[in-house]
Structure 1
Amino acid sequence: MTEAELMERALELARLPRWTSPNPRVGCVIARDGAVISEGHHEGSGTPHAEREALRGRHSPKLDAKGATLFVNLEPCLHTGKTPPCAPQIIEAGIARVVIAHLDPDPRVNGRGAQMLKDRGLEVEVGLLTDEAERLNAPYLHHRSTGRSFLTLKLAMSLDGRLSAPDGSSRWITGQASRDRVQTRRAEADAVMVGAGTVLADDPSLTARPVGELRQPLRVIVDGRGSVPPDARTLGLPGDVLIVTTGDASQEKQTAWKETGAEVLPLDLSDGTVPLVDLLSELGRRSVVEVICEGGGTLATQILQAEVADRLEFYIGPVILGSGGAGIGSLGIDAIGEGKRFRLEHTERLEDDVLLVLGRSA
């Protein structure tokens, strides 16, 4: 196998777990003369790191890694958390060379893991399949670099960009395959966020279904005016709920929310809207690595106006709704050159729907 193929195998291993957040997705391959002699991946917080799994040789009981090359998509750590550091284990195993897709921006690592390996005489190369590896762990890298949660804006829309019909109905613009994918994405993320309008219109549960099988995200409701009733469906379900509001919500309403078990977080601006950058910073402080915003149109418009969307996931159903249906609101754009552009990262057919995944434009 070529070195690119060996790193691609490490990335395949990194993708195996359904979710690892708040930890990154990491896969590791140990090779000699182009042949894999051991491999491993990280399953999530509190479980062994990918390098340790590969060095343990679970599938190769007589593993001898001396003089071998180790391929890993993220820089090995050198700090002790819930598990021991990886860089010293690599050194002790006698690995001669380490190939890393990219460094880890976590302040506890950030080049020091690679430097430790170099200082102990190992050959270290950084930069193989970097773009692919960075896309895989984009939420983690963003969170570690900025301290803010990575925001994915998810919308289900018609072919003509409508989020609902003129009567307000939106079930179902997209098909079952898209809806199943959304449930998986909720479980992969740390939080799912909607605006008050979506709660009032759809009364969603915001859980990842089937409940009991999938990891449940924090449910975040952005309600600057205090519109959401305490008997909203999502407030009566098990799990953590955070209602982000402003001083425009009465103390009586905030007390009623708290009585449901929800946490209430006041964040205020002079116009009564929730400051999204501050919200993402607060969620980041709470180790929410990725938050998926599922709309609706008002919150989506605010997100695009504030330019805080890190990724777009648009599920497009094979239906045209025409004028009158709700869509993304005005962004203050008058000319095509003022448009907010994104970079296409992935397309996928989901039965009769199409999923477009776009990242920030370079």
Structure 2
Amino acid sequence: MPTDPSDARWLAAAARLAARGRPLSRPNPAVGCLVVAHDRLVGRGWTQPGGRPHAEAVALAQAGDTARGATVYVTLEPCAHRSDRGPACADLIAEAAPARVVVGVTDPDPRTSGQGIERLRAAGIAIETADCAASRASLAGYLVRAEHGRPHVTLKLATSLDGCIAAVTGESRWITGEIARAHVHSRRARADAILVGGGTWRADAPRLDVRLAGLEARGPRRVVLSHGAINGVTTIAAPAAIAGLEGVQYLYVEGGAQTAAAFLAADLVDRLELYRAPILIGGGTAALGDIGLPTPAPVALADTHGRWRLADRRQLGSDTWEAYERARTGSE
């Protein structure tokens, strides 16, 4: 993070702004940009639908001449490559002549990586780069795709207090309340694709759409984990096949239990979102199947600690929502 608390605050604000571009910015990452002069916001932008204009172009156009001598905060290193769809953002910023540019995350794209920063330095602009946690979180899908060759995966589970996703009869509608279900739809609207297992698809025929007023068009691409072809949806035979989902940066996995276990066993879950209802079922369907923990049991339990970090927690009516991030080492 930047050493100046003011820089950290503005970068965090740019990261929150970037969320407005997701997922409509695809195939480009959702980037946020702020132009600040004398501690006053004079321009802001986020990546527009279809990927253009870029966040920097929108923010600089809004700032106009006030960008000269100002500070530009941008979550991702400004692009250095020219395109038929628009100019390189590093060139646009150089022309605007701000005094400083603070970059949240350097771009892993080889067409830009380091080159955008060097081009700005060559133009006489002071540059500060930071491994900003807020910027990195806002670009999770883009960075995971670049670093691991697959989408960022969020696994959603809705359970009772005793960890069941359905009654002993198989009934699962509805474990959580209306507010929590609306929240799920808002999460779907942020995803490029949504995945369920073949058993869930055949048993429940889920719509997997977004049913929130004004966001109905945000329904993600539907994917089913199945060995057989299914009309109207994309099918993949194994969790590792998500690498081949072209154009997908954010994948939202909704289960069921065996599919959730398969993704966890393959260590492909980056974020776990758990909705917990204040009910007890007892003897129902467990939220997870076997995820392949090593044996013997005492070693297995010890090894599970430190793998998940609480990132957020909210009360949604009578239900509780918790989000956990997978804590990975540099080798994972």
**TMscore range, shorter length:** 0.7 to 0.9
The corresponding residue for 2:310 is 344
The corresponding residue for 1:325 is 285
Q: Distance in 2 between matches of 1:159 and 1:3?
A: 42
Residue among 265, 289, 292 paired with 2:252? 292
Q: Deviations over 1:83-113 (max 9, x none)?
A: 3210001001112210111112223222221
Q: Deviations over 1:26-67 (max 9, x none)?
A: 22222223222222222332431111111112xx5x633222
Q: Distance in 2 between matches of 1:312 and 1:189?
A: 14
The corresponding residue for 1:146 is 148
Matched, 1:41 2:6: no
Q: Out of 186-195 and 35-44, give the one that drifted further.
A: 35-44
The residue type equivalent to 1:99 in the other structure is: V
Contact 1:165 1:326 in 2 (8 A): no
Distance 1:108 1:146, change over 3 A: farther
Q: Distance in 1 between matches of 2:109 and 2:267?
A: 24
The 5-angstrom pairing of residues 105-116 of structure 1 reads: 105-116=108-119
Residue among 250, 270, 278 paired with 1:310? 270
Q: CA deviation at 1:220?
A: 0.7
SS in 2 for 1:154: strand
The 5-angstrom pairing of residues 69-148 of structure 1 reads: 69-81=71-83, 82-127=85-130, 130-148=132-150
Q: CA deviation at 1:171?
A: 0.5
Q: Deviations over 1:289-345 (max 9, x none)?
A: 111111000111111111111111111111111124333112343231132731111
The corresponding residue for 1:186 is 188
The residue type equivalent to 1:32 in the other structure is: A
Contact 1:21 1:189 in 2 (8 A): no
The corresponding residue for 1:66 is 68
Residue among 206, 213, 218 paired with 1:215? 218
Q: Distance in 2 between matches of 1:319 and 1:201?
A: 23
Distance 1:139 1:297, change over 3 A: same
Residue among 236, 242, 252 paired with 1:244? 236
The residue type equivalent to 1:312 in the other structure is: L
Q: Distance in 2 between matches of 1:353 and 1:8?
A: 28
The corresponding residue for 2:205 is 203
The residue type equivalent to 2:236 in the other structure is: V
Q: Distance in 2 between matches of 1:26 and 1:51?
A: 8
The residue type equivalent to 2:30 in the other structure is: R
Identical-pair percentage: 38
SS in 2 for 1:133: helix
Q: Distance in 1 between matches of 2:326 and 2:286?
A: 24
Distance 1:243 1:77, change over 3 A: same
Gaps of 5+ in 1: 246-273
Q: CA deviation at 1:18?
A: 5.7
The residue type equivalent to 2:243 in the other structure is: S
Distance 1:35 1:349, change over 3 A: same
Contact 2:28 2:51 in 1 (8 A): no
Q: CA deviation at 1:124?
A: 0.4
Q: Distance in 1 between matches of 2:38 and 2:150?
A: 42
Gaps of 5+ in 2: none
Residue among 37, 58, 74 paired with 1:32? 37
Distance 1:327 1:34, change over 3 A: closer
Q: Distance in 1 between matches of 2:27 and 2:180?
A: 25
Contact 2:102 2:128 in 1 (8 A): yes
The residue type equivalent to 2:261 in the other structure is: T
Aligned residue pairs: how many? 315
SS in 2 for 1:209: coil
Q: CA deviation at 1:210?
A: 4.8
The corresponding residue for 1:55 is 60
The residue type equivalent to 2:43 in the other structure is: S
The two structures have a TM-score, normalised by structure 1, of 0.81
Q: Distance in 1 between matches of 2:312 and 2:244?
A: 29
SS in 2 for 1:16: helix
Q: Deviations over 1:193-249 (max 9, x none)?
A: 11111112211112222597332211111113x4x8x6xxxx5xxxx521224xxxx
Contact 2:154 2:252 in 1 (8 A): yes
The residue type equivalent to 1:144 in the other structure is: A
Q: Distance in 2 between matches of 1:159 and 1:23?
A: 40
Distance 1:243 1:2, change over 3 A: closer
